Amino acid sequence: MTESETLDDAFAVVGTDTNVGKTFVTAGLVGWLRELGSDARGVKPVQSGYPPDDDAAFVADVCGDDSAATCPRRLGPALAPAVAADVADETLEYETIRDEARSLLAESNLGVLEGVGGLRVPLADGREVIDLVADLGIPAVLVARSGLGTLNHTALSVSALRNRGITVSAIVLNHYEGETLAERTNPDVLVEMTDCPVHTLPPLDVSEPSAVVTGVREHLPPDVFPERVVSGGASLTDD
């Protein structure tokens, strides 16, 4: 880490790519924790493509509470943050992104950092999303697609995270329907390839935002959360 303090009760939700479902998983996990009495908060360190894209607003809407998510910096162009800032002629500094994320995560007893696109998306000053997770010293839940092609992308992402000292607590294969042979075999193959727990999340009905929380809670087990979140005192059942 770049600073001495640690974030014992925070973790990241990162993705193999953009549009794999990080925001849905983040919203569901934050909402699940808040239903159990935590003041969990989702933190999107920087949002590009704004508007209409506003992932923090979606998480807050799902949780029914504006305090459930925050984003300190938004950029207009729908590009990687470093590129979006350059195109928009705006200043974006990595140290500011890192320090704001650390502060916001620490303000809640459970902070959930949502990644921006894939792991190697440029943030600023030559640093990437994976650098931010590593510098914050937090474990990660990796969200990936369910179908053909996910073995390569997911295994490479797990390797990249581990090479930076980042613990991968679980893989979530999003939008899982099991309609193809690739989908049905991918979970077991990924367990063998990565030695990570692999969970599947079916398409969720988002006509009612709170249904995202219900769907995530009903289809993902409590051990999707990093072990140190649970050992730190989070009760993940209603018992």
- Residues within the annotated binding site for ATP? 19-24, 55, 114-117, 174-175, 202-204
Residue in the block written with tokens 């921006």: 116
Helices (H), 77-125: 81-87, 94-107
Residue 124 buriedness (CB in 10 A; 0-12 / 13-18 / 19+): buried
User: Of the listed 34, 41, 44, 73, which one is catalytic?
Assistant: 44
Q: Which residues are CB-contacts of 189 (< 8 A; sequence separation ≥ 6)?
A: 151
**Is 63 within 8 Å of 31 (Cβ atoms)?**
yes
- Give the integer Cα–Cα distance in Å for 192 and 178: 19
The token pair that represents 70 in the structure block: 């925050």
Residue (of 26, 17, 125, 20) closest to 81 by Cα position: 125
- Residues within the annotated binding site for Mg(2+)? 23, 55, 114
**Catalytic annotation on 44?**
yes
- Residues within the annotated binding site? 19-24, 48, 55, 114-117, 174-175, 202-204
Crossing angle for the helix pair 94-107 and 129-136, nearest 10 degrees?
50
Residues acting as catalytic residues: 44
